[in-house]
Amino acid sequence: MKNIYTILTPELFSLYADALVQKQVVVIDVLRATTSMVVMLENGAERVNPVASLEEARSWGEKGYLMAGERNGFKVDGFDFGNSPQEFTKDKMGGKSVVMTTTNGTHALSLCKMARSVYIGAFLNCAVTCDALTNEGGDIYLFCSGWKGFFNLEDTLLAGAMAASLCQMGAKVADDATRAAIHLWNQAKTDVAGFLSDANHVQRFQSMHAESDLDVCLKIDTSKKVVYYVGGELVTERP
């Protein structure tokens, strides 16, 4: 039986790092990195390379990659895109190679190199990702990217949604963080947007006039793409 653990913030990651060796990890950054990653591949991007630093992103840009990135929620000067999933349309993504760096999500991904399998988790691809997790051996770690190391509500809600689904498929809750995430999800699932209406990151969106991104980020199971992070690149098929 698979055990489910939840890492509520990157600041807690060091407590789990040894346990993650040869396990399954789902990196979650609902608003907006992991959502945008799924959208990029859904809309035909040929290659997507998430990187932690601006310097590394610019080095890929010099190789001809389109550059997508934000810091503190705002598009990086000189980049082709920010981090809004609405930017990554079919006409802009089809056949393209993209490098992406964000404040939280790509940093979280960079920490997971010891895991056997790393998945990209979003509300968009929640169901298909859970199916893939149950078809692979090993315990499951749901890793919330948070905000600059702090807990956030939206990533924990998705962790709860995934954990609840995985439990229905036979997995077992292994820690209180996962229990808490499921309880939050059960409170929120009938009106996720309403539940998050006063969340810190939603307030940031309002100050940035980016509320329309919520409509994309909170759609559930509209994508059939299982997205893996393999060798520094996002792929939709296991090598």
* pLDDT for 232: 96
Q: Are 78 and 84 in contact (CB under 8 A)?
A: no
CATH fold group of domain 3-35+103-228: putative 2-phosphosulfolactate phosphatase (3.90.1560)
Helix, strand, or coil (residue 24)? strand
Q: What pTM value is reported for the model? A: 0.96
Strand-strand pairing, 97-101 and 66-71:
parallel
Confidence at residue 204, expressed as pLDDT on a 0 to 100 scale: 86
Residue 205: its pLDDT value, please?
82
Q: Which residues lie closer than 8 Å to 78 by C-beta, 6 or more apart?
A: 67
- Residue 238 has a CB neighbour count (10 Å cut-off) of 10
Q: What is the pLDDT of residue 210?
A: 84
Q: What would the two tokens of residue 182 be? A: 């499921």
Q: Which has the closest alpha carbon to 120: 236, 22, 4, 2?
A: 236
Per residue of the chain (239 residues), give pLDDT as tens: 899 999 999 999 999 999 999 999 999 999 999 999 999 999 999 999 999 999 999 999 999 999 999 999 999 999 999 999 999 999 999 999 999 999 999 999 999 999 999 999 999 999 999 999 999 999 999 999 999 999 999 999 999 999 999 999 999 999 999 999 999 999 999 999 999 999 998 898 888 878 899 999 999 999 999 999 999 999 999 87
Hey, how many other C-beta atoms are within 10 angstroms of the C-beta on 140? 26
Helix (H) or strand (E) segment spanning residue 47: strand 47-50
- What is the pLDDT at residue 46? 97
Question: Distance of CA 35 to CAs 110, 172, 215, 225, Å?
Answer: 17, 26, 11, 11
How close are the terminal C-alpha atoms of the chain, in Å? 25
Rg over alpha carbons for the chain, rounded to the nearest Å, is 16
How confident is the model at residue 143, as a pLDDT? 98
Q: Note the pLDDT of residue 208.
A: 83
How far is the CA of 77 from the CAs of 18, 49, 67, 80, 164, in angstroms? 37, 19, 10, 9, 40
Cβ pair 177, 171 in contact under 8 A: no
Q: How many residues does the chain have?
A: 239
